Amino acid sequence: MDKALLSKTAAAMVARGKGVLAADESSGTCEKRFKSVNVECTEENRRAYRGLLFTTPGAEQYISGVILFDETIRQKANDGTPFPAYLAAKGIIPGIKVDKGAMDLALCPGEKVTEGLDGLRARLAEYFKLGARFAKWRAVITIGEGIPSHACLYANAHALARYAALCQEASIVPMIEPEVLLDGDHSVERSEEVTEATLRATYAACAAHHVSVEHLILKTSMVVSGKDHARQAPVDEVAERTVRVLKRTVPAAQPGIVFLSGGQSDEAATAHLNAMAAMKSLPWPLTFSYSRALQNPALKTWRGEAKNAAAAQKAFHHRAHMNGLASMGKWKAELERQAA
| Sequence-ordered list of residues with C-beta below 8 angstroms from that of 133, at least 6 positions apart, any chain | 5, 9, 93, 94, 95, 172, 173
Give the pLDDT score at 339.
82
Give the pLDDT score at 143.
98
Per-10-residue mean pLDDT, the chain, length 340: 97 98 92 93 95 97 98 96 98 98 97 98 98 98 97 98 98 98 97 98 98 98 97 97 98 98 93 97 97 95 95 97 97 85
Count up the domains in the chain and report the number. 1
What region does 136 belong to: left with phi over 0, alpha with psi -120 to 50, or beta?
A: beta
Give the pLDDT score at 95.
98
Q: What are the catalytic residues? A: 177, 219
Give the pLDDT score at 338.
85
Give the pLDDT score at 163.
99
Give the pLDDT score at 27.
85
Residues in the chain: 340
In a domain, 141, yes or no: yes
In a domain, 9, yes or no: yes
Q: Hey, what amino acid is at 28?
A: G
In a domain, 333, yes or no: yes
Cα(292)–Cα(216) distance, integer angstroms: 24
In a domain, 299, yes or no: no
Distances (CA, A) of 334 to 13, 14, 115, 276: 24, 21, 42, 16
For residue 9, give its domain range: 3-291+320-339
Compute the half-sphere exposure of residue 94: CA atoms within 13 Å on the CB side of its CA: 23
In a domain, 207, yes or no: yes
Give the pLDDT score at 67.
98
In a domain, 54, yes or no: yes
Dihedral sign of CA atoms 249, 21, 303, 138 in order: negative
Secondary element (H or E) of residue 47: helix 43-54
| Sequence-ordered list of residues with C-beta below 8 angstroms from that of 302, at least 6 positions apart, any chain | 37, 39, 49, 52, 308, 309, 312
End-to-end Cα distance, the chain: 52
- E-strand spans in 43-115? 63-68, 93-97, 102-104, 112-114
Exposure of 72 by Cβ count < 10 A (0-12 exposed, 13-18 middle, 19+ buried)?
buried
In a domain, 308, yes or no: no
In a domain, 300, yes or no: no
CATH no. for residue 132?
3.20.20.70
Please name which of 287, 291, 292, 278 lies closest in space to residue 323, comparing C-alpha atoms.
287
Cα(279)–Cα(43) distance, integer angstroms: 43
Using DSSP bridges, classify how beta strands 217-220 and 112-114 pair: parallel, antiparallel or unpaired.
unpaired
318 φ, ψ to 5°? -65, -45
Cα(124)–Cα(328) distance, integer angstroms: 33
Give the pLDDT score at 28.
87
Secondary element (H or E) of residue 111: none
Three-state secondary structure call for residue 141: strand
Q: Do 301 and 315 contact (CB within 8 A), yes or no?
A: yes
Q: Do 71 and 46 contact (CB within 8 A), yes or no?
A: yes
Exposure of 260 by Cβ count < 10 A (0-12 exposed, 13-18 middle, 19+ buried)?
buried
Q: Do 164 and 209 contact (CB within 8 A), yes or no?
A: yes
